[in-house]
Amino acid sequence: MSTGPASGASSDGAARFGVVVVSDRASRGEYEDRGGPAVQSYLEQAFSSALDFEYRLVSDDRAAVADTLRELADERGCCLVVTTGGTGPSKRDVTVDATLDVVDKVLPGFGEAMRAVSRTKVPTAVLSRQAAGIRGGALIINLPGSPKAIDECLDAVILAVPDCVDLLGGPRLELSDREAYRPHD
Amino acid sequence: MSTGPASGASSDGAARFGVVVVSDRASRGEYEDRGGPAVQSYLEQAFSSALDFEYRLVSDDRAAVADTLRELADERGCCLVVTTGGTGPSKRDVTVDATLDVVDKVLPGFGEAMRAVSRTKVPTAVLSRQAAGIRGGALIINLPGSPKAIDECLDAVILAVPDCVDLLGGPRLELSDREAYRPHD
Amino acid sequence: MSTGPASGASSDGAARFGVVVVSDRASRGEYEDRGGPAVQSYLEQAFSSALDFEYRLVSDDRAAVADTLRELADERGCCLVVTTGGTGPSKRDVTVDATLDVVDKVLPGFGEAMRAVSRTKVPTAVLSRQAAGIRGGALIINLPGSPKAIDECLDAVILAVPDCVDLLGGPRLELSDREAYRPHD
């Protein structure tokens, strides 16, 4: 059994996931964020594996978001890091830029698949810049801030997460119900 | 009431839009461009808001197209700039490169949504490199040159334009008939 | 009749295509590659034009793949170069990076169209980073390694290949049966 954060698993063998809420107002306590809890709740239900969450609340600051992603991937050893918020076209929307700053490889299929599903629901989905990529042993996925959009986006890509984490040398992740997630288009 | 071109509105309160026709032959007068009129006609019908158009005809020169985009966004204060032509794979197709040269942020969802619709109509749609992005207070969208493709592409993204311009601090845009544009996939 | 490799045609007038198998194990002879034969067989059946193939087996080394793509495009005068393998998220998957290193222009519609089709079949399709682009007179397309996925991906884009090669000044390519390839979405 591992005693450190390496390999995306905590010392008790649970897979370690990072959840990063990016929001000026939420990080100042002016607003109760609903995106972070929605992400964590989704992941807890989707996976039957033991999970250990690292939760971070960050302002819409590109360097601060990038630092948080590096910390979760490199020091905390998360095998999956999901961000929520900051994916739009406004000046303060910097989550995607920070993600592209830190990833070794971009995985364009995630953004495409999530936007393809979202735009059948809401026309403003084309404004989302959400991306995904690999940093070391961590898969990083950007999600929007709305709980409804979070669920739709994760539904579109969750089946690929265990295979990706496995390819990166991370822990074995088990989905509770693979049949619940059919390919989307 | 504003007296200058700031905030994407002209002095009489009309929203200012830029239309940029990119074509060597059209800019030399050897060919009557049909893309520019198709773009302007579409936008006039789609919006019930008062509109003020800035129309430009440019050769397939990367620096010239980039200069025109900067002028329309920065000096003329357009809140929306739509290009037509120069989105293909040929050596002289430089509109997309010029757009990526000047935008602060790329909005990948626009190209994805437009190509997803176009490829159900015509297989060569996969050759289009059309992109979109933000420069200051302007949303810049690349369109192909064919009037039919212009209509299909704008149908796929027009509903997101008022929200995007609003997020950038621009004028309030009203669509004539929101129901006419359903989400595509 | 040409006497050299220029213009994507060999000296007997056949169109010259490159097939690049990217695989550490296959290049060491430890594994019999099935992707390369699947690509060649597909192209031979899809086109009625006379074809001349340049076949290369390369290890998962970014510089080696980039050198091979340059050789096929610049020295061998291929009008189409198709790679198979190395498009995933693992550390040794470098085919896409090598392709982006050598292309003059990226054609994002190819990756989008191929992933859009693949993700209706297999959820891990979102992990594919496959790209396409232009180098001089050559269209370069990345494909995954699985013969089934190769066929699905080529079905989604093959109709655009003759137009693209034509726009690049290459030889006239004739498809055996245009009706066999309908637009996908």
CB atoms inside a 10 Å sphere around CB C4: 9
Burial class (CB in 10 A: 0-12, 13-18, 19+), C143: buried
Residue B23 lies in a domain: yes
Amino acid at residue number A7: S
| Distances, alpha carbon C89 to alpha carbons B138, C123, C147, C178, in Å | 35, 14, 19, 34
C5 pLDDT band (50/70/90 cuts)?
A: very low
Cβ(C153)–Cβ(C96) below 8 Å: no
A120-138: average pLDDT: 96
C-alpha B93/C-alpha B22 separation (Å) is: 9
- What domain count does chain B have? 1
C35-41: average pLDDT: 97
B176 pLDDT band (50/70/90 cuts)?
A: very high
Predicted local distance difference test score (pLDDT) of residue C26: 87
- A88 CB within 8 Å of a chain B CB: yes
C-alpha B39/C-alpha B2 separation (Å) is: 26
A110-135: average pLDDT: 97
Predicted local distance difference test score (pLDDT) of residue B183: 54
Residue C8 lies in a domain: no
- Chains with 3 or more CB pairs under 8 A to chain A: B, C
C-alpha A36/C-alpha A83 separation (Å) is: 8
Q: Summarize pLDDT for A32-89 with one digit per residue, the tens.
A: 899 999 999 999 999 999 999 999 999 999 999 999 999 999 999 999 999 999 999 9
Predicted local distance difference test score (pLDDT) of residue B13: 79
Cβ(C43)–Cβ(C65) below 8 Å: no
B70-98: average pLDDT: 97
Predicted local distance difference test score (pLDDT) of residue C4: 42
Report the DSSP pairing between strands B132-135 and B105-106: antiparallel
Among C106, C112, C141, C181, most B C-beta atoms within 10 A, so best to mutate, is C112
The pair of structure tokens assigned to B2 is 């504003």
Domain that holds residue C94: 14-168
Cβ(C74)–Cβ(B92) below 8 Å: no
Could you tell me how far CA C142 lies from the centroid of its own chain?
5
Q: Summarize pLDDT for B14-48 with one digit per residue, the tens.
A: 999 999 999 988 888 888 899 999 999 999 999 99
Residue A38 lies in a domain: yes
A11 pLDDT above the threshold of 80:
no
Residue B59 lies in a domain: yes
* Chain C residues closer than 8 Å to A181 by CB: 123
Q: What is the pTM of this model?
A: 0.93
Helix (H) or strand (E) holding A75: none
Predicted local distance difference test score (pLDDT) of residue A114: 98
Dmax over CA atoms of chain B, in Å, equals 48
DSSP string, B116-161: HHHTTT-GGGGG----EEEETTEEEEEE-S-HHHHHHHHHHHGGGH
Residue B183 lies in a domain: no
C-alpha B14/C-alpha B174 separation (Å) is: 12
C-alpha C123/C-alpha C102 separation (Å) is: 30
C-alpha A108/C-alpha A115 separation (Å) is: 11
Q: Do B119 and C159 touch (CB under 8 A)?
A: no
CB atoms inside a 10 Å sphere around CB C79: 26
Nearest CA-CA partner of B72 in B108, B3, B19:
B19
B179 pLDDT above the threshold of 90:
no
B133 → chain A, closest CA residue: A89
- C116 CB within 8 Å of a chain B CB: yes
C-alpha A104/C-alpha A142 separation (Å) is: 15
Q: Summarize pLDDT for C20-32 with one digit per residue, the tens.
A: 999 988 888 888 8
Cβ(C57)–Cβ(C24) below 8 Å: no
Determine the length of chain C.
185
C-alpha B120/C-alpha B107 separation (Å) is: 22
Residue A181 lies in a domain: no
Kindly report the average pLDDT of chain A as a whole number: 92
* ipTM computed for the complex: 0.92
C73-100: average pLDDT: 97
Q: Summarize pLDDT for B62-82 with one digit per residue, the tens.
A: 999 999 999 999 999 999 999
Cβ(C2)–Cβ(C9) below 8 Å: yes
In A109-161, beta strands by DSSP E: 132-135, 138-143
- C112 CB within 8 Å of a chain B CB: yes
A111 pLDDT above the threshold of 50:
yes
Residue B84's DSSP bridge partners are B21, B143
Q: How many CB pairs under 8 A join A and C?
A: 66
Q: Measure in Å the smallest separation between the Cα of C167 and chain B Cα atoms.
A: 6
* Chain C residues closer than 8 Å to B116 by CB: 112, 116, 185
Q: Summarize pLDDT for A74-97 with one digit per residue, the tens.
A: 999 999 999 999 999 999 999 999
Q: Do B126 and C168 touch (CB under 8 A)?
A: no
- B185 CB within 8 Å of a chain A CB: yes
Residue A182 lies in a domain: no
Q: For chain B, give the percent of residues with pLDDT over 90.
A: 82
> Could you tell me which residues come within 8 angstroms of residue B2 by beta carbon, excluding any fewer than 6 positions away?
B9, B10, B11, B13
C-alpha B58/C-alpha B66 separation (Å) is: 10
Q: Which of C105, C109, C164 sits opposite B115 (nearest CB)?
A: C109
Predicted local distance difference test score (pLDDT) of residue A29: 87
- Fill in the DSSP letter of residue B14: P
- Chains with 3 or more CB pairs under 8 A to chain C: A, B
- Chains with 3 or more CB pairs under 8 A to chain B: A, C
DSSP string, C34-81: SHHHHHHHHHHHHB-S-EEEEEEEE-S-HHHHHHHHHIIIIIS--SEE
Could you tell me how far CA B162 lies from the centroid of its own chain?
13
- Give the domain CATH number at C96: 3.40.980.10
Cβ(B51)–Cβ(B14) below 8 Å: yes
Of the listed ranges A3-12, A106-115, B72-81, the one predicted with least confidence: A3-12
